[in-house]
Amino acid sequence: MEKNRKLKNSELDRKTVTEFKDAKKTPLIIILDNIRSLNNIGSVFRTADAFLIEKIYLCGITATPPHKDIQKTALGATDTVEWEHKKSTLELVDQLQQENVQILSIEQAENAVMLNEFHPQPDQKYAIIFGNEVKGVQQDVVSKSDIVLEIPQYGTKHSLNISVSAGVVVWDLFTKTTSS
């Protein structure tokens, strides 16, 4: 017998689409602010599926399913994760704040809180905003955010692909909100 045998797909105990939709969700919403890469959008859907994220808002120029390049990386997650397109990220932020959702922009900004130092409050729903691959989160959206979170980086680039940033932030907040 092999010491670390890889599991077969049939052994992964995956939820069906119905089981996913009925499952208790992580109190996180993802907002994609003008994301231009269809592969990045699909990748974020897969991350959202992996961690039972409540909903994704696709804002501005962010493309929406169905699209073959989104599907290629989402691998069916567009069928499980609830999503909605909104024309204006700023109007969505206003709406969510009225619903008592805390808005977290993921950006490098003055007075940003480092992700590793952020401690989510129990029973608080959060919306995390990821911005355009070149321009980041729009300044007016950053200005309206309750908190700006920054992913600590120690190399020379100080830049991560949006799909990587989403994976890092969602995993971090998932572990912090499900363990409290």
Is residue 160 a contact partner of residue 128, using CB atoms and an 8 Å limit? no
Residue 164, both tokens: 């990587």
Domain-embedded: residue 125: yes
Which residue type does 5 have?
R
| CA angle at 45 for the pair 135 and 100, rounded to the nearest 5° | 75
Residue 77 lies inside a defined structural domain of this protein? yes
Residue-level pLDDT at 1: 61
Total structural domains within the chain: 1
Instruction: Give me the pLDDT at residue 20, please.
Output: 87
- Is 117 part of any domain? yes
Residue range(s) defining the domain that contains residue 33 = 22-178
Whether 67 maps to a domain, the answer reads yes
pTM of the shown model? 0.94
**Residue 122 counted as domain residue:** yes
pLDDT score, position 180:
53
Q: Is residue 12 part of a domain?
A: no
The CATH number covering residue 145 comes to 3.40.1280.10
Domain for residue 92, yes or no? yes
Each residue's pLDDT expressed in tens, for the chain with a length of 180 residues: 678 989 888 888 889 889 889 999 999 999 999 999 999 999 999 999 999 999 999 999 999 999 999 999 999 999 999 999 999 999 999 999 999 999 999 999 999 999 999 999 999 999 999 999 999 999 999 999 999 999 999 999 888 999 999 999 999 999 999 875
Distance CA 44, CA 162 (A): 8
9: in domain:
no
Three-state SS across the chain? CCCCCCCCHHHCCCCCHHHHHHCCCEEEEEEEECCCCHHHHHHHHHHHHHCCEEEEEEECCCCCCCCHHHHHHHCCHHHHCCEEEECCHHHHHHHHHHCCCEEEEECCCCCCEEHHHCCCCCCCCEEEEEEECCCECCHHHHHHCCEEEECCCCCCCCCCCHHHHHHHHHHHHHHHHHCC
